Amino acid sequence: MNARAILVTGASRGIGRAIALAFAARGDRVAVHHRGSPEEAAAVLAALPGPGHVVVQADVTDPGQARRMVDEAAVRLGGLDVLVNNAGVYIGHPVAEVSYEQWQAAWQQTLAVNLIGPANVTWCAVQHMIPRGGGRIVNVSSRGAFRGEPGQPAYGASKGGLNAFGQSMARALGPYGIAVTTVAPGFVDTEMAAERVNGPDGDQVRAQSPFDRIARPEEVAEAVVYLASADAEWASGTILDLNGASYLRP
């Protein structure tokens, strides 16, 4: 199986780390993106099996940094075959409990990281994929896009927007041989979810699924690897729920 060039945003921890490891395990070359955690990114790089992996840095909310980062990844990997838009933030801002200034700040930051950032990174990645005759883009969304996030409304809205963006790109990029898919996990055992899962309502969180647990990052990673494979082209436009039947949409 030929090695491919993979860019994973937000890969210094959690789901992104697991995705980077899963691609490297199958022999691919991976660019580990981080915003401001060079030590964690270096640790991920050191853990990746096989040669040719790199670390790239950018604040994806900055269009110039996003473009530089994607171009750097493509140069150092010798091209770009797969983009995984995983970087994201999860900011609490209940509408009845925050100031107007806090409300605006949460919306601006969340949309910038979770939606505008992936849109800009995607545009940049596509410029490298089209000359290669195709590629794969996988977006990491959330169950919250469908069931609502009352304490983090900007997060739910941003992931709903990411779903729509992915489906728009699936239609736009199919003629170029680029398939675009989305995974929508529920709670995953990562640093981002630790406070909630290990808190007083952790049992209630786990009980949302009939399996009485939350997802492992590796389970999300395996789904991403499949959707990025040559065999998954016909899944383009798909939004794959990965929530252990904790939320079933029509």
Q: Give the span between the Cα atoms of 25 and 1, in whole angstroms.
A: 12
Closest listed residue to residue 179, CA positions, set 133, 142, 221? 133
Residues with Cβ within 8 Å of 250's Cβ and at least 6 positions away in sequence, in order, are none
DSSP 102-146: HHHHHHHHHHIIIIIHHHHHHHHHHHHHGGGT-EEEEEE--THHH
- Which residues are known catalytic residues? 155
The phi-psi region of residue 182 (left if phi > 0; otherwise alpha if psi is between -120 and 50; otherwise beta) is: beta
Phi, psi of 39, rounded to the nearest 5 degrees:
-65, -45
Q: Give the span between the Cα atoms of 130 and 119, in whole angstroms.
A: 16
In Å, what is the CA distance from 88 to each residue of 27, 114, 192?
Answer: 26, 5, 10
